[in-house]
Each structure stands twice: as C-alpha cells, then as structure tokens.
Amino acid sequence: MNEEENEEKKNTMERVKRIREKMREELHGSKRPKEVKKPKKELEPSKTTESSQKIKKLTKTNEKMMEEVKGIKKELKGIKNELKKLNQNN
C-alpha cells in the first residue's frame, strides 16, 4: 500500500514537472501570463492596411494562447488537489 502511494506521488510529481516545463517553453520564461482584456466590440479592420491585418492575426493567436493557458491552469489545479489528497492520506 505504501509503495503504491509513493509510486502515485512520484507519477504526480513527474506530471507537475512536465507541465511546468511546458508552461515555461510556451511563455518564454515569463512567470505569469498577463491577462488580456478583450475589446467590448470587434472593430472591422481596414482590409487594405497590413498593420490592421497583422493586429487581427496577433489577436487570434493571443486568444488561442490564453485558451491554452486556461487549460494548463485547470490541469495544475487538478494536480494540486491530487497532491493534497495524497498528503492527507499520509
């Protein structure tokens, strides 16, 4: 029983390490992602200017990254809860 708990803790810690490493790579070493406020209404960018097209592309990319960050946060929260349960059992 004790060996199983130790193995489970070890596996959980490995998952935490992998997720942390993944977050570091995605966020280029920054500690916390900054929350980006979405505009209240989307403006129709001019199709002729390159800068507005670049802004639109970057906005979409940013939204995708924020969704990934939310998923990672949920995963970390689940791991944290697992660790709490394991520590309570000991």
59-85 burial: b if 16+ Cβ within 10 Å, else e: eeeeeeeeeebeebeeeeeeeeebeee
Domain that holds residue 72: 2-31+47-89
Give yes or no for a contact between 89 and 18, defined as CB atoms under 8 angstroms apart: no
The predicted pLDDT at position 82 comes to: 92
More confident residue, 74 or 53: 74
Which amino acid is located at 30 in the chain? S
Rounded to two decimals, the pTM is 0.39
* Residue 62: inside a domain: yes
37 falls within a domain? no
**Assigned domain for 39 exists:** no
Domain count, the chain: 1
What confidence score (pLDDT) does residue 78 get? Answer: 92
Quote the CA–CA distance of 42 and 85 in Å, as a whole number: 44
Q: Is residue 84 part of a domain?
A: yes
How confident is the model over 8-65, as pLDDT tens digits? 888 898 999 888 888 777 776 555 555 666 666 665 555 567 788 888 899 999 999 9
How high is the pLDDT of residue 65? 94
